[in-house]
Amino acid sequence: MSVRRVVAGNWKMNHGPAEARRFFDALGAVPSGPRVVVFPPVVSLASSVASAQGVELGVQNIHAAESGAFTGETSASMARETGAALVLIGHSERRHLFGESDADVAAKIRRARAAGLEPCVCVGETLEQRRAGRLEEVLETQISAALEALDPGAPYMIAYEPVWAIGTGETATPADAAQAHALLRERMRARHGEAGGQAPILYGGSVKPANAADLMDADEVDGVLVGGASLAAESFRAIIEAA
């Protein structure tokens, strides 16, 4: 059974509520076929829920606790109540700018599962790690921690993000993506059996309309996690159509 293609957009710290409404008005109804997901800022989630057509919505982060004295944070249950169906966990910016560890990622995965949110767990190596020949080591460590926390009986996605290709204009080649995705798929099948063979693996890193189709044609690339190109309805729709 083939894996349904996924096109996901991560807006990062862009598009407030009014701009989110304008984006979804411009995007309109999305073509049938690929699964389309957008991760807006949490302050724009409610307006996105009200205006998106055929697009699933998620949040970019959650706290590992259900509630408490955590100023500025969002719990998984709050995100779910507001309309989120998914959550990004372990994005490279969370790992490298905010110091999130594999243990933090695992704790957030468990909290997401308890709240009924589908995790999209991000993994990937830095340029220094890649140049040092540590690609397999880094991915093995990150995916093992994630798979231990994930439930093979519930849906989840993995996103491979070569950190050196995020926001830099550099992009992994389809062969680069296929190599990393094959490694991840092997580990997912070994841990979760048939479910690990069916969970989508997305490629994320400077995805644009010009390269999206070639990336998605690579082996074990089931979709894309789009950053900057997801901020404009026209370019995001072009990527959806490429899927």
Catalytic residues: 91, 161
- Report pTM: 0.96
Helix, strand, coil shares, percent, the chain, to 5: 50, 15, 35
Specify the pLDDT at position 164: 83
Phi, psi for residue 54 in degrees, rounded to 5: 75, 20
Specify the pLDDT at position 218: 95
Specify the pLDDT at position 143: 98
Q: List the chain domain ranges.
A: 6-242
Query: Are 58 and 38 contacting, i.e. CB atoms less than 8 angstroms apart?
Result: yes
CATH topology of domain 6-242: TIM Barrel (3.20.20)
Mean pLDDT by 10 residues, the chain (243 residues): 89 98 97 96 98 98 98 98 98 95 98 98 93 94 98 97 79 90 97 96 94 95 97 98 95
Specify the pLDDT at position 165: 79
| 134 CB-side CA count, 13 A | 11
Specify the pLDDT at position 144: 97
Residue 134 CA: distances (Å) to CA of 98, 101, 129, 141: 22, 18, 5, 11
